[in-house]
A = this chain, B = another copy of it.
Amino acid sequence: MKNVPLKGVISYPITPFDEAEKVDIPLFKKLTERLISSGSHAIAPLGSTGVLPYLTDEEKEAITEATIQQVNGRIPTLVGVSNLTTEKTVYHAKFAEKAGATAVMIIPMSYWKLTDDEIIKHYDTVASQISIPIMAYNNPATGGVDMSPSLLKKLLQIPNVTMIKESTGDIQRMHYLKKELGEDVAFYNGSNPLALAAFSAGATGWCTAAPNLIPELNIALYDAVQSNDLEKAQKIFYKQFELLKYIVEKGLPRAVKAGLNILGENGGKLRSPLQPLTEKEISDLELILSKVKSSTLSA
């Protein structure tokens, strides 16, 4: 049986910056604690939400250590270690393992489109140097390469590649993975507006930044699916659908930071060129959040 240490709602913290656009570690820890205490089933720092590619090596290491320290074994951790070069990916994967991460997530970032052989060699090289499980992550919109289901199938033959995260937003990919790879494979949904469809299709977990803003609804959706109550799941999903769609459209780091501010939390600053949402966007988000809140109360 494969080593699959993650399930349920896997929460992605943002990486907050201070006034000088330096990483704010104390604030990061505080935001991470919010995710843990609101019931997340796992914590995943240094994802797209955590603006991984915009950070220096030292900053990535500091975030990794801060996460492990803050989580302190209460729930599993999934650390993003993706890098354009294989050498740097190995470096950060080894760092995460040594720091105590439960698993690492790797997206094959590509400036030059990688061939299937290049991608397999990339994962193989990293996998051979660590012992913890790897989640292979497919997201052409940010990573620039689209791994076909058949390539993902090949990656799963590498012993510690045990999990797949799909963010193409195409539910048929998940159907194919489930059908083709059988009961043994664990696939995760990384496309927020697809949460209901993905769980209906049999996804093991949901990788999401939404618990920074609406953790109760995210977890309630998972619980409804677990108790085989489709009607309830559908009802809970439609309460959060508009928000899920909006934060994806506006970009997760910018939207989550704005949402935290609306909720009265300090979301920190962004690192340029990323800029805050506009006034208009913020007021749209306020409206959406207030509708979510009133619908939750009325349920």
Contacts and interface: CB of A to CB of B under 8 A. Distances in A.
Interface of A: 21, 48, 51, 53-54, 84-87, 108, 111-115, 117-119, 121-122, 125, 142, 144, 169, 171-172, 175-176, 178-179, 193-194, 196-197, 200-202, 225, 228-231, 233-234, 238, 241-242, 245, 251-254, 271-275, 278
A275 B48 contact: no
A241 B179 contact: yes
A275 B201 contact: no
Copy number of this protein in the oligomer?
A: 4
A172 B169 contact: yes
Nearest to A227: B230
A164 B114 CA distance: 27
11 contacts: A53-B111, A54-B84, A85-B271, A112-B251, A112-B252, A169-B172, A171-B194, A171-B197, A172-B245, A175-B238, A228-B228
Given A21-B87, A113-B251, A118 B274 contact: yes
Contacts of A241: 175, 179
B274 A54 contact: no
A230 B252 CA distance: 30
A243 to B, nearest CB: 11
A118 B253 CA distance: 14
B238 A230 contact: no
A194 B172 contact: yes
Contacts of A201: 196-197, 234
Given A196-B200, A197-B200, A251-B113, A121 B172 contact: no
Contacts of A231: 228
Contacts of A51: 111-112
Nearest to A126: B273
